[in-house]
Copies of this chain bind each other. A is one copy, B any other.
Amino acid sequence: MANDNSVKGNVIRDAGIICVGTELLLGEIVNTDAAFISRRLAALGIGVFRQYVVGDNPGRLKEMIGAAYSRTDTLIFSGGLGPTADDLTKETVAEWFGKKLVRDERTAARIGDYFCRSHRRAPHSNEKQAYVPEGSVVLDNDYGTAPGIIIEEEIDGRKKTAVLLPGPPSELEPLFLEKVEPYLMERSGGTIVSRNICLIGIGESEVGDIIAGMMESDNPTVAPYCGDGEVRVRVAAKAADAEKAAAAADAAVGRILGTGIREYVYGIDARSPEAELIARLREKGMTLATAESCTGGMLSERITSLAGCSDVFLGGCVTYANGAKTDLLGVPSETIEKFGAVSAETAAAMAIGARERLGASVGLSATGIAGPGGGTPEKPVGTVWIGVSTPDGTAVRKLSLSPTRTRDQIRKISCTALFGFAIFRISSDGRPKTEGIIEV
């Protein structure tokens, strides 16, 4: 560390986030950094009340720093630490604090090593990244060249803290987890514990109507929010310690599960429907195979995004052309001719084909019209048949999604609905509403 001159004492209760980058203001990239930092701060019990985005413009950034520090004592910055001339966050924050930049020899050596390891010569522009504000804490970046930087300084009687992090998520995220969290953990008071009740098959408005009374509480807070094809009810309780906060959160969850939404619950704090499905199949010693038409690989992509899924997931077929459905999955061409590629019969044959061809316990299938083209009056865009074949039998269900949804949404919602359908089919407990399910 260049020098640790941290001002002791003050507890960090809230923080602001400033993301710097003209590419964010032009909408060329989505601000995943703000979401990541916010999520981690919430877990530490540090409230985030404001996020800001500004371009690579020192004047506007400096003005924003001042405005943000008038509302909070701690700011987390992402971006603008790169090697190029338009990366100016470090320079601007240092100027705001009235600090010079000094060459950090350890960082200079680390950057040299970084390029050496990947058998490349350090470009000249990276020299700029070896400079840090004098007296700052330098966080070694094992995932890239720009170091993380923490500045702590008493200004007008209040300790102001600035945490500067590189913008690429592949650098920011591990740096935050490994080096910033331990730093903040020591400085945060109180703890928030949150629970997410995860639902498939019910809309946000309907959930809101059912739990309206509980949503008025300040602590724990209760709020529904919707993703693609699922709704989550977030319960967040704040207390002096984790045990008390957990007890308050769990009590609220119990009250919510006492309502009519219980039958749509596929998990509590589930990472995702696919993670929940894989975990439940693993518990039962079952294996999985997929057969996809309209989802085009999204189903297997979501499953294989889970590290270690290979003990459950064997593989799948993306049968986009009708010939592929027959050749790879053994769907009889007469079935496709008679009922169409988007039909209960084809969905059932695909699920059975995946299970049999790959020798899996469970086969999943999806075939539908994701749009924007390809719809007919009988089968409009948004018509998707999903199927689940298990040792106990095969069942299919029709989804009639709004044709105003985008292609991507129709595919995502179809996958989520199918994961939910599969979870409910393989579970003996709490079977949900079975309306619209056709046993084959």
Instruction: Please report A residues at the B interface, Cβ cutoff 8 Å.
Output: 22-32, 34-42, 48-57, 60, 64, 67, 82-86, 118, 123-126, 142-143, 145, 168, 170, 173-174, 194, 204-206, 208-209, 212, 215-216, 221, 223-227, 232, 234, 236, 290, 292, 294-305, 307-310, 313-321, 323-324, 327-328, 357-359, 370-373, 402, 404-409, 411
B55 and A49 contacting across the interface, CB-CB below 8 Å? yes
Bound-state CA distance A404–B205 (Å) is: 42
Please tell me which one of the listed residues B51, B290, B299 contacts residue A53 in the complex, with CB atoms under 8 A apart.
Answer: B51
Bound-state CA distance A325–B314 (Å) is: 10
B48 and A50 contacting across the interface, CB-CB below 8 Å? no
Residues of B within 8 A of A41 (CB): 27
Bound-state CA distance A305–B125 (Å) is: 38
- 9 other A-B residue contacts (CB within 8 Å) besides A28-B35, A49-B60: A26-B48, A30-B31, A56-B223, A84-B208, A118-B402, A123-B205, A125-B208, A296-B305, A310-B321
Residues of B within 8 A of A54 (CB): 49-50
Residues of B within 8 A of A303 (CB): 296-297
Interface hub of A57, A145, A292 (most chain B Cβ within 10 A) = A292
Residues of B within 8 A of A359 (CB): 323
Q: How far is the CB of A356 from chain B (nearest CB, A)?
A: 11
Bound-state CA distance A340–B340 (Å) is: 41
Residues of B within 8 A of A407 (CB): 305, 307
Residues of B within 8 A of A174 (CB): 404
Q: How far is the CB of A81 from chain B (nearest CB, A)?
A: 12
Please list the 9 inter-chain residue pairs (A to B) with the smallest Cβ-Cβ separation, ordered nearest first. A296-B304, A27-B39, A297-B300, A27-B38, A297-B297, A315-B324, A51-B53, A297-B301, A84-B208
B57 and A49 contacting across the interface, CB-CB below 8 Å? yes
Q: How far is the CB of A204 from chain B (nearest CB, A)?
A: 7
A297 and B318 contacting across the interface, CB-CB below 8 Å? yes
A206 and B357 contacting across the interface, CB-CB below 8 Å? no
Closest Cβ neighbor of A206 among chain B residues: B123
Bound-state CA distance A260–B236 (Å) is: 54
Bound-state CA distance A82–B206 (Å) is: 12
B35 and A24 contacting across the interface, CB-CB below 8 Å? yes
A314 and B304 contacting across the interface, CB-CB below 8 Å? no
Interface hub of A216, A232, A301 (most chain B Cβ within 10 A) = A301
B314 and A86 contacting across the interface, CB-CB below 8 Å? no
Please tell me which one of the listed residues B31, B84, B215 contacts residue A85 in the complex, with CB atoms under 8 A apart.
Answer: B215
Please tell me which one of the listed residues B35, B124, B300, B323 contacts residue A27 in the complex, with CB atoms under 8 A apart.
Answer: B35
Please tell me which one of the listed residues B57, B234, B305, B357 contacts residue A28 in the complex, with CB atoms under 8 A apart.
Answer: B234
Please tell me which one of the listed residues B82, B170, B328, B402 contacts residue A204 in the complex, with CB atoms under 8 A apart.
Answer: B82
Bound-state CA distance A126–B315 (Å) is: 44
Closest Cβ neighbor of A232 among chain B residues: B28
Closest Cβ neighbor of A371 among chain B residues: B307
Closest Cβ neighbor of A315 among chain B residues: B324
B24 and A209 contacting across the interface, CB-CB below 8 Å? no
Bound-state CA distance A411–B309 (Å) is: 15
Bound-state CA distance A409–B294 (Å) is: 25
B25 and A51 contacting across the interface, CB-CB below 8 Å? yes
